[in-house]
Amino acid sequence: MPTRVFTGLKPTGSLQLGNYLGAIRPLLDLAADPGADVVVCVADLHALTVEHDPALLRARTRELATTLLACGLDPSARLFVQSTVPAHTELAHLLECTATYGEMTRMVQFKEKSAGSDSIRLSLLTYPALMAADILAHDTEVVPVGEDQRQHLELTTTLARRFNARYGETFVIPRGSTPPTTARLKDLRDPRSKMGKTGSDGAGVLFLLDDPDTVAAKVRRAVTDGEPSLAFDPDGRPGVANLATLLGALTGRSPEEALAGLRGAGALKSAVTEAVVAALDPVRCRYAELEADPAEVDRVLRAGRDAVAPGAVATTARAREAIGLLGVA
């Protein structure tokens, strides 16, 4: 039996290098194994958990799908839009009935995103149940994600085990997979914080569709420190460590190896710019081709939906029956 690999990305902004090195490239590496059976979802319902603009959400959903294909995701991998498979929301309700309020309020992302806000959408609190449904609906075994999703993944396995123990074997228990060095890439301007699609002014975020001049300008303004020599010291010298991590990941080396032979922050920044531009150039070119043919992207999304929906419906039907719903045909 092939190994079911599943991940999701939410269209709250343009994809950035943290998404790429934390989740997309590890996903593509897993997909290269002929024994892998890959399913990827554009998690548009998750984007509704925070303030949003309807037209922008629609545009970003297509942009995200197009960018994933431009990164090299094979159109035969099942790529689909979450909301087009309603079994996800149905299963989410059954998992909300398996989780507790305490578990949801303990989620670090909920605490971070709700802090200081007096109008929090209820769905921001319940979102991990929907994410668990995304994963469990597809009988997922491996979930490539960055560090920030690890807690949600742990909750997913807790809920799956609890459901199975209480109502009988229903769900496959998934495991997360995080990359060794790039599970939490940092913002170039604020190297103690995570690089993210949203939340900063974007000056320290390398977006996958940034052109070479923009990449060069952002890397030039990356925060380092005044020390003349280079060393990999994530706690003491987070800016240099983040650039070394990035350079190493893009050139197939450890962060320490990436620094060897480089003299000073200027040389490090030049090497980083070169490596990022080399990695992103093909993505940008392919994106331009795909963007000119939106019907093809729609075709991939439709084929993805059609391929995965029956499995998700079957898993949800198992869960409905196990939990005690009558299900009159």
60 binds ligand TYM (CB under 6 A): no
> Is residue 204 exposed (0-12), middle (13-18) or buried (19+ Cβ within 10 Å)?
buried
Least gap, CB of 30 to ligand TYM (angstroms): 13
Positive or negative torsion for Cα 289, 293, 294, 295: negative
Q: What does the alpha-carbon distance between residue 284 and residue 174 come to, in Å, rounded to a whole number?
A: 33
Active site residue 218: no
Interaction mask 75-114, ligand TYM, x per CB under 6 A: ----------------------------------------
Which of residues 83, 149, 177, 273 is near ligand TYM by CB under 6 A?
149
10 binds ligand TYM (CB under 6 A): yes
19 binds ligand TYM (CB under 6 A): yes
170 binds ligand TYM (CB under 6 A): no
174 binds ligand TYM (CB under 6 A): no
Interaction mask 21-50, ligand TYM, x per CB under 6 A: -xx-------------------x--x----
Which of residues 5, 145, 309, 312 is near ligand TYM by CB under 6 A?
145
| Residue 33 tokens, joined | 């194994």
Length reported for the chain: 329
Q: What is the DSSP string of 19-48?
A: HIIIIIHHHHHHHTSTTEEEEEEE-TGGGG
DSSP structure class, residue 186:
B
Q: Which residue is nearest to ligand TYM (CB)?
A: 22
Minimum CB distance to ligand TYM smaller for 175 or for 299: 175
CA angle 65, 71, 76 (to 5 degrees): 65
DSSP structure class, residue 78:
E
Minimum CB distance to ligand TYM smaller for 196 or for 304: 196
Candidates 16-24, 158-166, 210-218, 289-297; binding stretch for ligand TYM (CB under 6 A): 16-24
Active site residue 186: no
Cα–Cα distances (Å) from 323 to 95, 101, 137, 170, 309, in that order, read 10, 19, 15, 10, 21
Interaction mask 110-139, ligand TYM, x per CB under 6 A: ---------------------x--xx----
Is residue 142 helix, strand or coil?
strand
DSSP structure class, residue 181:
S
Element holding 56 (H helix, E strand): helix 54-70
Active site residue 10: no
Q: Which residues pair with 3 in a beta bridge?
A: 36
Q: Which residues bind ligand TYM (CB under 6 A)?
A: 7-10, 18-19, 22-23, 43, 46, 131, 134-135, 143, 145-146, 148-149, 182-185, 194-196
Query: Which residues are annotated as catalytic?
Result: 113, 194, 197
